[in-house]
Amino acid sequence: MLRPRMMPDRLLEMACTSLVFATLVFAEYQPVSAETIARCGKGWLEKVDQSMVLHVRGTPYEMGYQHGALLKEHVHENMGFLMDELNSPTLVELGVFKVNPRSVIRGICEFQRKHIPPSYYEELAGLAAGAELDVDDIRIGNFLPELMHCSGFSVMNSATKDGTLYHGRVLDYAIDWRLQEHAVLIVAEPAGGIPFVNVGFAGFIGSVTGMNARHVSIGEMGGGGYGHWDGVPMAVLVRQVLESAEDLPKAVTLFRDRPRTCQYFFVIADGKTNQAVGMEASWNRFELIQPGGTNDLLPTPVKDCVLLSSGDRYRQLVRRVEQGHGDFTAESARRLMDRPVSMNSNLHNVLFEPASLRLWVANATADLQPAADQHYQEFSLRELLARHPEAGACEIPLLKTALP
Residue spans of the domains in the chain: they are: 15-386
Across the chain, what does the average pLDDT equal?
A: 86
Q: Which has the closest alpha carbon to 396: 123, 33, 54?
A: 54
Secondary structure of the chain: what % helix, strand, coil (to 5)?
30, 25, 40
**Contact criterion met (CB below 8 Å) for 160 and 19:** yes
Maximal CA-CA distance, the chain:
59
CB atoms within 10 A of CB 310: 18
Residue 94's pLDDT band, with cuts at 50, 70 and 90, is: very low
Q: Which has the closest alpha carbon to 381: 344, 356, 350?
A: 356
User: In this predicted structure, what is the pLDDT of residue 290?
Assistant: 93
Q: DSSP readout, 204-248?
A: --S-SEEEETTSEEEEEEE-S-TT--SS--HHHHHHHHHHH-SSH
379 phi/psi in degrees, rounded to 5: -140, 160
pLDDT at 149 over 60: no
- H/E stretch holding 137: helix 135-141
pLDDT tens per residue, range 247-279 = 999 999 999 999 999 888 899 999 999 999 999
Q: Which has the closest alpha carbon to 73: 171, 175, 173, 184?
A: 184
pLDDT at 101 over 50: yes
30-34, 298-302, 362-366: the lowest-pLDDT one = 30-34
351 phi/psi in degrees, rounded to 5: -115, 120
Q: DSSP readout, 108-128?
A: HHHHHGGGS-HHHHHHHHHHH
User: In this predicted structure, what is the pLDDT of residue 310?
Assistant: 74
- Report d(CA 291, CA 1) in Å as an integer: 38
Averaged pLDDT for residues 169-196: 94
Q: Which has the closest alpha carbon to 156: 275, 267, 249?
A: 275
Averaged pLDDT for residues 139-146: 84
- Report d(CA 109, CA 45) in Å as an integer: 30
Q: Which has the closest alpha carbon to 194: 157, 242, 130?
A: 242
- H/E stretch holding 72: helix 72-86
Look up the pTM and report it.
0.90
Averaged pLDDT for residues 179-187: 97
User: In this predicted structure, what is the pLDDT of residue 25?
Assistant: 39
User: In this predicted structure, what is the pLDDT of residue 20?
Assistant: 36
Residue 87's pLDDT band, with cuts at 50, 70 and 90, is: low
User: In this predicted structure, what is the pLDDT of residue 6?
Assistant: 37
User: In this predicted structure, what is the pLDDT of residue 148?
Assistant: 59
Q: Is 368 left (phi over 0), alpha (psi -120 to 50) or beta?
A: left
Superfamily holding 15-386? Penicillin V Acylase; Chain A (3.60.60.10)
User: In this predicted structure, what is the pLDDT of residue 306?
Assistant: 87
